[in-house]
Amino acid sequence: MKTSDYTYPLPEKFIAQQPVTPRDSSRLLVVHRETVDFEHAHFFELGDFLNEGDLLVINTSRVLPARLFGNKIPTGGKVEVLLLRERESRTWEAMVGGQGLKKGIRVQIQGGPEAEIVKELNGPLRLITFDRPVESLLEDIGHVPLPPYIDEELKDRERYQTVYADQLGSAAAPTAGLHFTPRLMDELRNTGIQFGEITLHVGLDTFAPVREENPREHAIHREWCSLPEETAELINQTREKGDRVIAVGTTVVRTLETAAQNAQREEILDPFQGETDLFILPGYEFKGVDAMITNFHLPESTLLMLVCAFAGKDLIFEAYELAKDKGYRFFSFGDAMFLE
C-alpha cells in the first residue's frame, strides 16, 4: 500500500466555495456496495434510500469561532491566532501567524483580551495564555476558521455549523451533517428513522495530507470523542432488530469503531469517552457501522483512505470519477455520498 495510490486529479472548479441553499438541495450520489451500482439524487430525497428502523448517528460538535486577529505589544505588528484546544484554564494550544512570535511576546487581541506566548512548540504551534478566560468571548471576537481550500468569505458563519451542533469544541465542521435541515430530520423521524448523537471534536489536522510514502507510518491526529449511554443503547437495540446503523460522517465512524474496539462484550457497544487515534485503512474490519453518509474527500487524506476501507478503493474511485463527470461539488461545502 502506498499513499500515492490514494491520489486523483481534481481541477479547482470542482471545489465548492459556498454552500448551497437550502442545505438539503445538495446532490447525493448513492453507492450500492453489493450491486456495485450508482444512483443520482438530492439530499432531501435521502429517505428514499432508508428503511424504517434505520438509525442515523450524528456528531453534535460545534465549531469554535477560534480565528483571532491582534497586534503585538508594543510594536503593533499584525498577528493571527487559531485556537486549537484549551490545555488548562486560560492557556490554549494555537497556531500563530506573524513575525517574531517567540516566547514572551504579548499580543492584544482585537476587541478582546491580552495574551502572552508562554511556550514555542513545533512549527507555528504555540502555547498562549490569556489574561482572562476567552471561550465565552469567542462568539463576539472570533471568526470561523474555514478550510484552506475555501478562498471566498462566508457571509453567514452558521452555514459552517450543522443545524444540531451544540457541543462547542471543533476546529472544523463535521461536514457530512451540513446537508441536514430541521424539516428533513422531522420528515425522517415521521417515517420511523431514528437519530442518535455522539460528539467528536474535529481537529485541524483533519485537513493534513498523509506525507509518508507508506500510510501505515502516518501518525494520525488524536481527537476527543464521546459515545453516551443512550446512543449506545439505541445502537444495540437497532442491531438486535436487524436494522442498520448509519454513520453521518467519518467522525461518527471513528467514534463508533473506537467504542467497538473498547467494548467488553462481543457485538455489544458500550459507552465510551476519551481520545481516539484510530486510523482506518483498507483491510480494517468494521464492527460498529453498517452504512455511511460522507462528503467527497481530499486526495491522499486519511478520510479518503477510511471511505476506501469501507466501500473498496476501486468502487470509491469509480464513484469519484462519475461525480466529476456529472459535475458534483467536492469537499466541505460540496455534495454528499451515501455508501449503503
Query: Is 261 in contact with 71 (CB distance < 8 Å)?
Result: no
Domains, the chain, with CATH or none: 3-63+155-339 (3.40.1780.10), 67-141 (2.40.10.240)
Query: Is 130 in contact with 92 (CB distance < 8 Å)?
Result: yes
pLDDT of residue 191: 98
Query: C-alpha cell of 232?
Result: 449506545
pLDDT of residue 244: 98
Q: At what angle do helices 313-325 and 302-311 cross, to 10 degrees?
A: 110
Spatial distance between the Cα atoms of 144 and 108, rounded to a whole number of angstroms: 19
pLDDT of residue 324: 98
Spatial distance between the Cα atoms of 65 and 142, rounded to a whole number of angstroms: 5
Q: Which amino acid is at 139?
A: E
pLDDT of residue 313: 97
pLDDT of residue 159: 96
Query: C-alpha cell of 224?
Result: 476527543
Query: Is 95 in contact with 84 (CB distance < 8 Å)?
Result: yes
Query: How crowded is the C-beta side of 188, counted as CA atoms within 13 Å?
Result: 25
pLDDT per residue of the chain (340 residues) written in tens, 0 to 9: 899 999 999 999 999 999 999 999 999 999 999 999 999 999 999 999 999 999 999 999 999 999 999 999 999 999 999 998 889 999 999 989 999 999 999 999 999 999 999 999 988 889 999 999 998 999 899 998 888 899 998 989 999 999 999 998 898 999 999 999 999 999 999 999 999 999 999 987 776 778 899 999 988 878 999 999 999 999 999 999 999 999 999 999 999 999 999 998 877 899 999 999 999 999 999 999 999 999 999 999 999 999 999 999 999 999 999 999 999 999 999 999 999 9
pTM score, whole prediction? 0.92
pLDDT of residue 199: 98
Smallest CA-to-CA distance from 306 within 234, 210, 235, 212 is with 210
pLDDT of residue 258: 97
Query: Is 268 in contact with 324 (CB distance < 8 Å)?
Result: no
